[in-house]
Structure 1
Amino acid sequence: MKKLSVLLGLWVLVLANLAFANAVATSVSGTVQVATGAAAPRLLRQGDTVRQGDTVSTGAGSSAVLKFEDGQVAALTANSRLTVATFEYNAQAGTGSVLLSLLNGGMRAITGLIGRNSPSRVTYRAGTATIGIRGTDVTIVTSFGNVVVSVTEGLISFSFGGQTISVPAGQGVNAKTDGTFQQGAASQIAQQLQATPEGQQMLNLLNGVQGLEGVIGEAATSPVNTTRSATPNPSSPTGSTGGGNASTR
Structure 2
Amino acid sequence: MQKHALPETVGKNIKTKLMLSATPLRRLSQATATAALGLTMLTAIGTDPAKAVNLKTFNISGNFASTALDGSIGLPVNLANGSFNGAYTVDVDQLPASNSFVNLTSWNVNLVNENTVLGTLSNSLAGNTAYIQENKLAFSDAGLLTNENKNLYSLELDFDSNFTGTGITNDGKFLDNSDLGSVKSSGLTAVTFVKIEPVPEPQNLAGTAVIATIGLWLRRKQKG
TM-score by length of 1: 0.28
More helix by share: 2
TM-score by length of 2: 0.30
